Structure 1
Amino acid sequence: MEQRSDEVAIEFPFFRIYKDGRIDRFAGEEIIPPSPDSTTAVRSKDVVITPGTGLSARLFLPQIPDPTRKLPLLVYFHGGAFCIGTPFSHTYTSHVASVAAEANAVVLSVHYRRAPEHPLPAAYDDAWEAGLWALAHSDRDGPEVWLNRHVDFDKVFVGGDSAGGTLAHYVVLRAGIDGIKVLGLVLFHPFFGNDRRDRLLEIIFPSSSGSVDPRLNPGCDRNLGRLGCGRVLVFVAEKDFLKDRGVAYYEALKKSGWSGHVEIVESEGVDHVFHLFSPKCEQAQALFKKAASFLNQAQAHL
């Protein structure tokens, strides 16, 4: 019988990783069932994308007074340092329902495999697979009826917060390299690494080349100009320790030769992903309205 080790490899406020690979998660694990949201009336249901790996998602559908109207689609990736968080939690169910209602958009919130049980790049692989699965409904005969019936596949967006923003960028860049175009990319306080040694990444992403790995730091990526969308919106927060990398991404994208339009919005006086925990505050409401406006701008032909 294999003996468990209680020796800690790394500890964060929300989780602890032991040297034998086990993890204790202290937050982001609460699960609630899909149901109509009591505040927004957005409906949700859970879908399985790849049974073999457990890749799944929670799908959100806003109220649709006109059943003939097709809505934008946002493929969304949650944050949590690649280790915690799930679309099935109260935090993300509430957050994504608010986005769906404010933007009047269908949202596919993806449950990717998490580290350290599934070291990176497993989450990158899942993110890409989920994006392809969503786009496969564009001929209206995919496995999920809400996507077949209600999505305008000329208005597909990809987005995410923190580590989920890293995954969202990866999906849209890989799409561009592969000749696939989506309409836009929206990043909420994205994690794009740092210049210091990162013990967590050494554990959960052993194949990474560190601070110059383009999967973590897009500013180092010579393919950045091939991003597969026409518009990008980057949110940063004034007190966020990740703010500088978000700003650097904005600047690098402008200089990359990419032909689209990028905008950056800074929320003053707040910290990393504040909108998840204080969704009713003034800055969060402004963030939601800006994101909704971005998702509803007139279609750009790519």
Structure 2
Amino acid sequence: MSSTPKKEIVSLVPDFIHVYNDGTIERLNDMPKVTPSPQDLETNVSSKDILFSNEPSLFARLYLPKLTDQNQKIPILVYFHGGAFCCESTFASHHHKYCNIIASQGNVLIFSIEYRKAPEHFLPTQYNDCWDGLNWVASHNTTIENVPENSDPWIINHGDFNKVFIGGDSSGANIVHNIAMRAGVTRIPNGVKIFGAYMNHTFFWGSKPLGFEKVEKFEKVNEFATLLWKFVYPRAPFGIDDPNVNPLGPMSPNLALLGCSKMLVTVAGKDRFRDRAVLYYEAVKRSHWNGEVEFFEEEDEDHCYYMVHPESDKGKKLIKVVADFLHQ
């Protein structure tokens, strides 16, 4: 008589995800998902979910702030949520609340992409899903007769295609960098260009300390960062020095190729990835990129503190920095 095999973990990222020998996956810190709202009670922002791709099936949540003029055109933010490429969702309660606040304070139309996750879908799937989402938004910049069959009236009626932004947090900020680099060498449909890009608390890493990074701190973080990257991108050509995660490495293309006009980089002083993001900001400034880059730091806070406490004084401060950037 055969016995049922004991359920055991076969791979994991500590504090993020467990994969078991029976094929089940446990995402440890995922927040509950919430439905969109015709009008959020706190911000007056409207939201809805759409299917923007059939093959593969890809969804997004759209956010539209309350408009004083129904013919008003406002900037578009294509948003990439965080979650280490393997967790969380654009429909999660904290991301939904954050997007409501940003849409309201930034007065932007947000297209927040529910990209696929590892280990069901390894990188570069996440990059490709987000690139496809940006291109779908850009497909609306045309005559009414030529818009796609699954077009959205909010984007058609209210999107300002001269002010298209991309933005993200943590791994989502990593996606922002990679989408901006791709936009520097690959044309976005219908003449759309990325006007601005913001990157909050970006996940970047590499095999060796750089610049002012202290060896002791680097070694403490290196085990986790390398494990995470191997989990989400096991076939990365250069491992943890792949250009997608190490834009300052020897195999990485010149940052002058960034395909946007403005950039905002924010960091937190207690964030384990803080130093690498600062070095990235300084490298962008030194490059021959023909754009403007801004920097903001909250010294006594940790990774993505504003997601957990958006209504705290420091959370409001960071959100205002992002909203001001989107007002440009």
Tell me the TM-score range normalised by the shorter chain. over 0.9
**Partner secondary structure for residue 262 of structure 1:** strand
1:164 and 2:172 matched: yes
Deviation at 1:203, TM superposition (A): 2.3
1:270 aligns with 2:322: no
CA contact (8 A) 1:225 1:258 kept: yes
Aligned 1:222-301 pairs, distance under 5 A: 222-297=253-328
Q: Are residue 202 (structure 1) and residue 204 (structure 2) matched?
A: no
Residue identity matched to 2:138: L
**Whole-Å separation in 2 of the counterparts to 1:128 and 1:21:** 29
Q: AA paired with 2:177?
A: H
Is the 2:44–2:66 contact (alpha carbons within 8 Å) kept by the matching residues of 1? Answer: yes
Decide whether aligned partners of structure 1 residues 152 and 59 sit closer, same or farther in structure 2, where only a CA change above 3 A counts.
Answer: same
Offset at 1:288? 1.1
CA distance in 1, matches of 2:42, 2:88: 22
| Unmatched runs of 5 consecutive residues or more in structure 1 | 298-302
* 1:212 matched residue in structure 2: 241
Aligned to 2:53: 50
| Equivalent in the alignment of 2:28 | 26
Show the counterpart of 1:178.
Answer: 186
CA distance in 2, matches of 1:129, 1:272: 28
For the 8 Å contact 1:54–1:113, the answer to whether it is kept is: no
Aligned equivalents of 1:201, 1:172: Cα separation in 2: 20
* 1:6-17 correspondence runs (5 A): 6-17=8-19
Superposition RMSD on alpha carbons, in Å? 1.8
Cα offset for 1:271? 0.4
How far apart are the structure 2 equivalents of 1:248 and 1:262? 13
How far apart are the structure 1 equivalents of 2:297 and 2:206?
19
**Is residue 4–residue 20 contact of structure 1 (8 Å, CA) maintained in 2?**
no
Q: What SS class does the counterpart of residue 117 from structure 1 fall into?
A: coil
| Equivalent position of 2:157 in the other structure | 149
CA gap of 1:266–1:3, structure 2 versus 1, over 3 A, is same
| Contact 2:195–2:262 (Cα < 8 Å) also in 1 | yes
Q: Using the alignment, how far apart are the partners of 2:270 and 2:233 within structure 1?
A: 27
Q: Indicate whether 1:193 and 2:205 are aligned.
A: yes
**Are 1:47 and 1:58, in contact at CA under 8 Å, matched by a contact in 2?**
yes
Give me the TM-score of the superposition, normalised by structure 2: 0.86
Query: Displacement of 1:22 after TM fit?
Result: 3.9
Deviation track 1:114-140 (CA, whole Å, cap 9, x = no partner) reads 001111111111011111111111115
- Write the distance in 1 (CA, Å) between the matches of 2:48 and 2:115: 16
Identity within the alignment, %: 39
Query: Cα distance 1:4–1:60, how it changes in 2: closer, same or farther (>3 A)?
Result: farther
**Cα-to-partner distance string for 1:223-270 (whole Å, 9 max, x where unaligned):** 321111111000100110010111111011112210111111001211
Query: Is 1:69 matched up with 2:55?
Result: no
SS across alignment from 1:48: strand
Deviation at 1:171, TM superposition (A): 1.0
Tell me, yes or no, if the aligned pair for 1:42 and 1:60 is still in contact at 8 Å.
yes
Q: Does structure 1 retain, via aligned residues, the 8 Å contact 2:95–2:307?
A: yes
TM-score, normalised relative to structure 1: 0.93
State which structure, 1 or 2, has the greater radius of gyration over its C-alpha atoms: 2
Unaligned runs of 5+ in 2: 208-221
Equivalent residues of 2:171, 2:202 under 8 A apart = yes
Cα pair distance change 1:85/1:26, threshold 3 Å: same
The separation in 2 between residues aligned to 1:29 and 1:52, in whole angstroms, is 27
